Structures are given as structure tokens and as C-alpha cells.
Amino acid sequence: MTTMKWTVLTDNRTQNPLLETEHGLSIYLETEHHRILLDTGASDMFIRNAKRLGVDLSEVDYVFISHGHSDHAGGLRHFLTINEKARIIVSPEALKGKFYSKRKLLHSITAVWPQLPEERLILVDETCQLEENLHVIAHIPQVHPLPKGNLHLFAKNAEGELVQDDFRHELAFYVDGLLFTGCAHSGLENILDACPWPVDSVVGGFHLLDSHETEEELTALAMKLKTNYPNTQFFTSHCTGDEAFNTLKKAMREQIDKLQIANHKLEQVTNNNSQFTNMISNADCE
């Protein structure tokens, strides 16, 4: 049995007027053995919110960067000014990639990377185990449909041309029954399929933007999740739209909830049959 707590430091909305919001995601995860920062949001906002929430980021052991977009990795350069020990987990393709969105108008969404000390860098190019019960999933097979919001997203190829982003730079993170999806650009079903370990909870964005997937498509996805993962609890935020979430909620009911920046923590007790207490609610999208 494992006890872990997580605190949402950055997300698109909050009900607490003392906390700031941005289009970004950052979650602080504390297990019995590790202090882990899951993504860093778009700026240094996660640091300010962490102080207000009583989270000491100088004690973080690992920083996991799910992909190369600025709303998940933009705060890393600020983190390095307050933490001198954490190892940084990232795909080498995220570090070297140039990423763009054509949503509304063409703009760069490439993270500004700091100078990363080699001894603190963990480059992950294939699924691997970092420590016992601590795994990183890479190059997720794309068997099931990808989120339709990906159609707005591009990367530069070796010739400098804009091509559809294939998201080989996206990683997922697994620790003690918890699966962190980042934005789940590779598709929630694909990420779950690529995880060979028992999943008690899935946390992160699902990249289901409003007015992209149809209500029928979302309902079908929800029913697959209920059928294939009946004992898994889903928590989503950031890039899952309100309307999309409501459609999933109709089918999944108590099996899915929203996350938002909050001034308290959520505690999970895992034994492959999760129980949850102090649950927090609500989120948003790109």
C-alpha cells in the first residue's frame, strides 16, 4: 500500500482568488520515497503558487517534462534558480525540436530551454525504469485515434519545413500506480495501452478540445475507458475542454473528475484498488 499526495501548482483556472492561473500545467507529486515535479507550466507562476500552497520546490528530486511545448516546459529555467539537485527527465527530441501551433494564427510553442547541467539530465528515448516503481514511457504506439486538436500542431523537419507533429517527443510517467499523461497528445487509449503496469489513477490533460471530437466520439471513448479500466480513476485538467469533460462525465460518472489549482492536497492510497480522499475539482484547455 502506497500513500502519495499531489498538488496542482499551475492550471488554466482556480476557485481560489489568492492563486494565479495560466495556460499551462504543473503538478507537485510526493510519494513515500520521492518528491517529483510533473511539468513546469509556462512561466514562473508555479513557483509563486507553490509558496502560497506551502510546497518547498527546493526539495524536489525529479522534474519530469512530458513534451517540448512551452506550456509544460516554459517554467524549467525558473525552477533551476531555486533547486540545485533535481534530475531533469526529458526526451532528447523535445530539447532539439521546434514546435508551432496554427490555432487562430501561426505561433511558436517551443519551450525556451535553459542550459541544463549534464549530470542532472536524464534523456529518455525508450521506455525505461528509473527506480523501483518509477518508469518513463517513450515513443507511444499510435494504434487508437489521436486527439483531433493535434491537427493544429506542427514541428519543423530537418529541412526547416512545417510538418504535422508526430509527438515522438512526448513521454508519459508512471509511479506507484499513478500514470501522468502531460497533454496526452498521443491519445489517452494509446498511452494506457503502452503502460504495462497496473494503473490506479490517470492524471493530466487529455487534449480533448471543445468542438473537435463529436459527442458520439467522446461517449465511445468514455465507454471504452469504463470497460477496459473499470478500477481506474481519471483526473483531467488543462487541455480537456469543459464541454468535452461534461460528455465524459455523463458516461463515466464518479470514475472521472476535474483538477484545478487548489490550496489543499489530494491524497491517494494505492493497493491496485485505489481509494481517494480530499478530492478537488475543475480544469480547462488550449
So what's the pLDDT on residue 1? 55
Provide the pLDDT for residue 17: 85
Q: Cell for 194? A: 503502452
Residues 37, 58: Cα–Cα separation, whole Å? 11
pLDDT of residue 212: 97
List the chain pLDDT tens, one digit each, 286 residues: 568 899 999 999 887 888 999 999 999 999 999 999 999 999 999 999 999 999 999 999 999 999 999 999 999 999 999 999 999 999 999 999 999 999 989 999 999 999 888 999 999 999 999 998 899 999 999 999 999 999 999 999 999 999 999 999 999 999 999 999 999 999 999 999 999 999 999 999 999 999 999 999 999 999 999 999 999 999 998 999 999 999 999 999 999 999 877 643 444 444 333 332 222 222 222 2
If one counts every other C-beta atom within 10 angstroms of the C-beta of residue 86, the result is: 20
pLDDT of residue 247: 98
- Position 269 scores a pLDDT of 43
Taking alpha carbons only, the member of 169, 174, 171 closest to residue 182 is: 171
Number of other residues whose CB lies within 10 A of the CB of residue 104: 7
pLDDT of res. 203: 96
